[in-house]
Chain A
Amino acid sequence: MFHCFGGSREEANQIINLGFYLGIGGVLTFKKSGLDEVIKQVGLERVVLETDAPYLAPVPYRGKRNEPSYIPLIAQKLSEVMGVTIDEIAEITTNNAKKLFNL
Chain B
Amino acid sequence: MFIDTHAHVYSEQFLGDKSKFLERAALSNVSTILMPAIDAQTHAAMLEMEASVPVKCISMIGLHPCSVKEDFERELEIIDHYLRNRKFVALGETGLDFYWDTTFKEQQYQAFERQIEWAIQYDLPIVIHSRSSTKECIDLVARYVNRG
Q: Which A residues form the contact surface with B (CB < 8 A)? A: 1-7, 11, 14-15, 18-20, 23, 25, 48-55, 65-72, 75, 90, 93-94, 97-98, 100-103
Contacts and interface: CB of A to CB of B under 8 A. Distances in A.
A98 B31 CA distance: 12
A65 B24 CA distance: 14
Contact of A11 (B30, B33, B135): B135
Given A48-B5, A68-B21, 15 more contacts: A3-B127, A11-B134, A20-B141, A23-B127, A50-B5, A52-B7, A53-B7, A67-B7, A67-B9, A69-B24, A69-B30, A71-B30, A94-B2, A100-B5, A101-B125
B7 A51 contact: yes
Contact of A18 (B4, B11, B142): B142
A18 B3 contact: no
Interface string B117-132: 0000000011111110
Contact of B128 (A2, A25, A75): A2
Interface residues of B, number: 45
B61 interface: no
B27 interface: yes
Given A1-B127, A54-B14, A68 B33 contact: yes
A18 B141 contact: yes
Given A3-B93, A101-B34, A71 B4 contact: yes
Nearest to B130: A2
A54 B6 contact: no
A67 B24 contact: yes
Contacts of A97: 3, 5, 32, 34
Interface in B31-85: 32-34, 36, 55, 58
A52 B6 contact: yes
B9 to A, nearest CB: 6
Contacts of A98: 3
Contact of B2 (A4, A67, A93, A102): A93
